[in-house]
Amino acid sequence: WVRATKKRHFFIEILAEEAQKGNKPSNTFKVVSINQVALAISKRFQVQCDAKHVENHLRTIKNQWQIICTIGAESGFGWDDNMKIITCDRATYDAAVMAHKKYEPFLNKSIDHYDEMALVVGKDMTTGSFAKTFADRFG
């Protein structure tokens, strides 16, 4: 589990660097970036990782980001930008988790690598302003 978490963090960090270099010209990464991520993960973790693995994991990250954005669009939730936490009271939490079990991992818990996720899978994001843009949705 720890190894999988380290791989995920490394994966997001590398893609965030690629986005900052301009290798995500639209909403998708250049093929060269996907291949570089696969190579870096293969070397660092002594595993066989190819472009298909990277694209599958990127799809997972996009799905998580979509859940985070969906929560942010609903009323009753707040945002702690320092801690990168979607906040809510107990009643809101209970109702949200009962209606949408997939919300649970993102409520009242720090979202690991939030800023990097915003760069990697967020739309129309620019370096430095992405967290404020998203935080403005809450409230």
List the one residue out of 121, 123, 99 whose CA is nearest residue 55. 121
pLDDT at position 126: 38
pTM over 0.75: yes
Q: Residue 108 in contact with residue 129, Cβ under 8 Å?
A: no
Domain that residue 38 falls in: 1-126
**106 part of a folded domain:** yes
User: What six digits make up the tokens of 37?
Assistant: 């991520």
Reported as a pLDDT band with limits 50, 70 and 90, residue 60 is very high
Q: Residue 52 in contact with residue 37, Cβ under 8 Å?
A: no
User: What's the structural domain count of the chain?
Assistant: 1
**136 part of a folded domain:** no
Query: CA separation (Å) from 108 to 4, 21, 97?
Result: 23, 32, 12
User: What six digits make up the tokens of 121?
Assistant: 């899978």
**91 part of a folded domain:** yes
**133 part of a folded domain:** no
